[in-house]
Structure 1
């Protein structure tokens, strides 16, 4: 992949007057089996979810494309699956080749093998689903090339990789009195302890904050002043906006939010 320099950039589009694109993509789509001769960089994406006493993992083997990775992240997040960060395969792989997943005993893996393919981000991506009970000291996973039985990737999933999954804010029952929102209950702690405000603002820009509001908050001198300014805007927020801010805080300050949830509920937020 290369970056093309546009001849002209307009407000809503860019102009390439003399683009030079490789025909490889066309050949891969039109000629069956052509991709088997092209090595590409791939990544593994692992997600987990606690289901009663079991743990469910989703393992993807996909081309290293940021748009595909984001589409998978968004899809898994809908079902509250959490990604585990593990190294990708060291060597390049072949599009169209089949790969087999195996692991420690007492694992149920469906399916046993997958074909590495290039699907557009808008389509559902293929993945291994792994059912595990108590993982004990860890689970070892391996992926082999089906044809040559070469080991192309392995990883050890340890209990420490499974960090607490933060619960979603439950919707209030229509007949029940509305409880104060998480942001309202913990405003003082959030103002005092949120230490990285700019990444939080980036997540809220356009969705909760207008350009003018975004710049006004960023202009404050300290993190506490920024949070006070942010909360001064909350009087006009709907509950949906506050939910967005809550989710952004979960992404940028997960340990702080977990601690506040544990203190408010009196229980440990584990599984």
Structure 2
């Protein structure tokens, strides 16, 4: 598909939608993906969303075939924050970040209807009704025994030692975090350390004040600057889980 980009708009493919939610008290955040129906891409998205404690909701996928490179508009039956409102159906490798729309809902009420339309012709290509009954108050993992408790840890907490030892390009990582997780003072303090390991230790020393959203931002920056390392650590976690 990458090699024949000139004609990709004319090649229909089977696509799927993936919806995940995170319930925090009465507030709900949804992540909506429109991606090629590829099992490796679905697994990569599932793994990443699970690390952030997002839970998938099963809804039917689009019925008709769609086109790589085409753009689609996400809308809702209620006036909600949808960022971004436009998604491109593109083929990214499982190791890359996949595109999604984030939808914030202050109160579910009787439910909301999501729709995706073809931007060019505004044809309806997919819709789904999200009901309060689709949302479980807690993650299924919370009911597991204590031996599974480490799975509730954030990726950064699980792999802190490996990240300190093996992240080699710290300055590009800090540049991505500057203004998001790090203020100017913290940014300069981390950069002042003489070695990469020293910088990573200093960065993690600041994590006591991070929210889970902050940790998600650090994880995303690590995934962009050190994709092979993050993929390897994910695979190691999966093999340990299966072995137990």
TM-score by length of 2: 0.58
Q: Is the 8 A contact 1:47 1:59 kept in 2?
A: yes
SS at match of 1:207: helix
CA distance in 2, matches of 1:101, 1:141: 7
Q: Output the CA distance in 2 between the equivalents of 1:147 and 1:104.
A: 21
* Aligned-partner Cα distance in 1 for 2:75–2:84: 10
Change (3 A) 1:146 1:168: same
Match of 1:68 in 2: 41
Q: Deviations over 1:204-262 (max 9, x none)?
A: x963676xxxxxxxxxxxxxxxxxxxxxxxxxxxxxx6xxxxxxxxxxxxxxxxxxxxx
Question: Does residue 158 of structure 2 align to residue 125 of structure 1?
Answer: no
1:190 equivalent in structure 2: none
Structure 2: gaps (5+ residues) = 148-237
In the comparison of the two structures, how many residue pairs are matched?
A: 154
When you count helix as a share of all residues, which structure comes out higher?
Answer: 2
Q: Specify the alignment match of 1:138 in structure 2.
A: 111
In the alignment, which residue of structure 2 is the partner of 1:207? 240
Contact 2:68/2:91, CA 8 A, preserved across alignment:
yes
Give the superposed CA RMSD: 2.5
Deviations 1:6-58 (A, max 9, x none): xxxxxxxxxxxxxxxxxxxxxx3234441101000000000000234310000
Residue 35 of structure 1 pairs with residue 8 of structure 2? yes
Q: CA distance change for structure 1 residues 137 and 36 in 2, over 3 Å: closer, same or farther?
A: same
Q: 1:105 aligns with which of 51, 67, 78?
A: 78
Q: Which residue of 2 aligns with 1:50?
A: 23
Q: 1:208 to 1:77 in 2, by over 3 A?
A: closer
Post-superposition offset of 1:165: 2.2
- Distance in 2 between the 1:148 and 1:209 partners? 47
Structure 1: state its 5+ residue gaps: 1-27, 170-180, 184-204, 211-240, 242-271
1:151 aligns with 2:151: no
Give yes or no for the alignment of 1:93 onto 2:66. yes
Contact 1:91 1:152 in 2 (8 A): yes
Listed one character per residue, the Cα deviations across residues 176-227 of structure 1 (whole Å, up to 9, x for unaligned) are xxxxx736xxxxxxxxxxxxxxxxxxxxx963676xxxxxxxxxxxxxxxxx
Shift in Å, 1:144: 0.2
Determine which structure has greater relative contact order: mean sequence separation of CA pairs < 8 Å that are 6+ residues apart, divided by chain length.
2
Distance change >3 Å, CA 38–CA 107, structure 1 → 2? same
**Alignment partner of 1:182 is 2:143:** no
TM-score (normalizing by structure 1): 0.53
